[in-house]
Amino acid sequence: MNKNVNTNKAVPKNKKKKKASGPRFNVFDFLIIFAILICAGAIIVRAIFIGTAKKDMTTATVVFEVSYISDVTANALDKEEPQPIYLQSDDTRIGTIIKAEQTPQKILEKDENGILQSVIHPEKYTVKTTANIEGVWSDDGFLINGTQLATVGKTFDIYTPYVSCTFTVVSISPKQ
């Protein structure tokens, strides 16, 4: 009997089994997923915010002013019938002009003694309009259409069915 016969089955030298191949994640993959989730979350939050704001819509009385305009522009603003106002940026209607008042434009010029004198410009006008504007009152102030904060001094590029111009906010108050 041959004592040196090895009856055991051959065992491979490399006993480690190869791992099954599958998805491999690295840091950049996680960063991409994170960025996509952030974008999706921001869109959802914005949609919820706009939806909530629309429920709280109310009307405010806003006085706007537009200065140093020609008589043609001033006459186009100063109409008897109420005029709808739209934002130039996205064509959304924000309210209605209910009153307009046209006055000659005053400017300051120095006289012979260097003193500023107020004089009327013969070709320019200022128009003050009162409008009912839709929006939401928030802690920061009145948000036009629930999205744009209207503060005294802020300008808005608007248009009506007759004219396109830039309004400056003079005052804001709840509609009486």
Partner 1 sequence: MVQKRKKVRFNLVDMLIVIFILAIIAAATYFLIGYFKPDANSGNNDFKFKIRIENVNKESWDSLKELGLLNTGTIVKDAVTGEEIGTIYAAEAKESLHYGGLIPDENGYILGTAVSEDEYTVYITISADAEQDNSRKIYKVNHIRMLIGETVHFKIKSFTATAYIVETNISDEPKSP
Residues that bind partner 1 (CB under 8 A): 23-25, 29, 32-33, 36, 39, 69-70, 72-73, 76, 84, 86, 91, 107, 109-112, 117, 119-123, 159-165
CB nearer partner 1, residue 71 or residue 101: 71
- Taking the complex as a whole, the smallest distance from the CB of residue 8 to partner 1 amounts, in Å, to 33
- Taking the complex as a whole, the smallest distance from the CB of residue 92 to partner 1 amounts, in Å, to 11
- Taking the complex as a whole, the smallest distance from the CB of residue 106 to partner 1 amounts, in Å, to 10
- Taking the complex as a whole, the smallest distance from the CB of residue 37 to partner 1 amounts, in Å, to 9
CA 150 to chain centroid, in Å, comes to 11
> What whole-number distance in Å separates Cα of residue 38 and Cα of residue 103?
52
> What whole-number distance in Å separates Cα of residue 117 and Cα of residue 32?
64
CB nearer partner 1, residue 25 or residue 176: 25
3-state secondary structure of 71: helix
Q: What is the chain's length?
A: 176
| In contact, 160 and 84? CB cutoff 8 Å | yes
CB nearer partner 1, residue 57 or residue 119: 119
Task: Report CA torsion sign: 162, 164, 103, 130.
Answer: positive
> What whole-number distance in Å separates Cα of residue 163 and Cα of residue 157?
11
CB nearer partner 1, residue 142 or residue 167: 167
